[in-house]
Amino acid sequence: MSRHPWVLVGVAAGASSAIVVFLSPSLVASAAHHAILPAVLPLGFYAAGGVAALILPAHGVGHRLLALGVLHLVALALLVASLLLDRSDVAITLLLPASVTFTLGFAALFDALVRYPTGRVAWRPLRRITVGLYVLAGLLAAAGFFGSATMPAVGGPDAVRPNPVYVPSLESAATAAGLLPALALLGLLLMLVRYRSATDEERAQMRWPIGAAVALVAGLATTGLLEDTIGPGAQTAVFIALSSLLPASLLVGILRHASEAERIEAVEASRGRIATAAVDERRRIERDLHDGAQQELVALLARVELARQEAEPESRLDEELRGIGESVRAVHRELRELARGIYPAVLTDRGLADAVTSAVARLPLSADVSIDPAVASRRFDPPLEAAAYLFVLEGLTNVIKHAEAERAHVRLGGAPGRLEVEVSDDGRGFDPATMNAGTLQAMRDRLAAVRAELHVASRPGGGTRIQGVFPVD
């Protein structure tokens, strides 16, 4: 169970409230079974929220579903308890909190729905709005209590009693408080709005509660139409069956989302490890070449030079040795270029900014490099440096091959928490929609290995700009 003490308090309060509600027919004759039916849905949320809080203690939706269940069960228990008291002026002390907890429950449901399925609020201002809604719901419920002519009650029409503390001027607050249950609907509508911009995985989870809500509405509409034929008992049964779908669907959705997120995290972590291993391997090969073959060739050059000293100047042997020296030097240069291609030492020794500047200078292309001072001398993880370096190289290679550009521009910049690497040109551009998807996808995949994102902006005749955005600590 969650270490959060409020969860335990909530579970205990919910359980005791449920017991009060289910005992209500024997406690209070007038309540009969009237409190039990409204308790079904809160109990469903209570159970689903409890299971979610148990399995996913860090997830934001479970706690709020649990809160909804508890708040509504408490509200019902308070209503039942108020019936035990004869004096209506004392009952107020129970009915006022009942109104407040009942309304707060809808704010909790709204909060849960806007966080579904990730547990986080996707749109930042909404977090503040939600907090404000809790406060507003509490205040409106309290004011609305005084603004309604009758007191809240469970039971038939004969259970309704006049409100002894009725304040007619607060009637509009009562009206407004009466609208707050619509927050549930608003939460579902916002989910439909978010659906468009959600990831495929989030959409799959959103379909559960949306489907459940549609089923509930359809079920109620059908049974409503057929009420004369099937009777109110059947409608109640359909309502109970379908309404329990809502908490269940939310529970299923967040559990599936969590397991999917866990799987994705594992895949990303393993992809990161593979990228790190690949970079380590390249650096090792570069080091081996440097310390091994390249050094051997330098030693060989020294030996050739020494041998030349023994040879008669300008003799055939001297000429031969000079030729050998030239060949060894050529091999040495080739090996140096090979080692640089495998992993440039300057990237290891001096970092991204120097490596990019040097690489640009070597390309048969007129390109400017601009580097933010914050990035100029900064070092990043080797896999990130390697990915960013290769991104620039690949971008410039594409400029040379395809862009027919006059000029290219490389920019290394960033904001807190991110490194932006950009290659742009004034070449012929392309239509990203008709672009061979494979090229960009390969680039995107390599960036994804270090959790970086690719942004491409291009249009025919308008040049091209590709940008890699790398998350950094």
Binding site for other proteins (CB under 8 A): 287, 290-291, 294-296, 298-299, 301-306, 309, 325, 328-329, 332-333, 336, 340, 344-346, 348-350, 353-355, 357-358, 360-362, 366-371, 373, 376-377
- Residue 421 Cβ, how far from other proteins at the closest point, in Å? 15
- Residue 429 Cβ, how far from other proteins at the closest point, in Å? 22
Q: How many CB atoms lie within 10 A of CB 282?
A: 17
Our CB check for other proteins shows the closer of 114 and 396 to be: 396
Cα gap 373→71, rounded to integer Å: 55
Q: How many CB atoms lie within 10 A of CB 211?
A: 12
- Residue 418 Cβ, how far from other proteins at the closest point, in Å? 20
- Residue 287 Cβ, how far from other proteins at the closest point, in Å? 7
Our CB check for other proteins shows the closer of 81 and 388 to be: 388
- Residue 380 Cβ, how far from other proteins at the closest point, in Å? 16
Our CB check for other proteins shows the closer of 114 and 405 to be: 405
Cα gap 49→247, rounded to integer Å: 8
Our CB check for other proteins shows the closer of 54 and 328 to be: 328
Backbone angles phi, psi at 432, to 5 degrees: -55, -25
- Which residues are 469's β-sheet partners? 420, 453
Residue matched to tokens 């309540």: 31
- Residue 367 Cβ, how far from other proteins at the closest point, in Å? 6
Of 432, 431, 412, 419, the residue nearest 367 (C-alpha): 412
Our CB check for other proteins shows the closer of 126 and 301 to be: 301
Our CB check for other proteins shows the closer of 182 and 374 to be: 374
How far CA 306 is from CA of 292, 294, 299, 311, 315, in Å, comes to: 21, 19, 11, 9, 15
Cα gap 16→277, rounded to integer Å: 56
DSSP code string of 247-279? HHHHHHHHHHHHHHHHHHHHHHHHHHHHHHHHH
Our CB check for other proteins shows the closer of 268 and 372 to be: 372
Our CB check for other proteins shows the closer of 230 and 293 to be: 293
Return the C-alpha torsion angle 190, 60, 42, 147, nearest 10: -60
Of 41, 40, 55, 39, the residue nearest 7 (C-alpha): 55
In our burial notation (b when 16+ CB lie closer than 10 A, e otherwise), range 226-257 reads eeeeeeeeebeebbeebbbbbbbbbbbbbbeb
Backbone angles phi, psi at 429, to 5 degrees: 65, -175
- Residue 466 Cβ, how far from other proteins at the closest point, in Å? 19
> DSSP code of 290?
I
- Residue 307 Cβ, how far from other proteins at the closest point, in Å? 10
Our CB check for other proteins shows the closer of 4 and 284 to be: 284
- Residue 286 Cβ, how far from other proteins at the closest point, in Å? 10
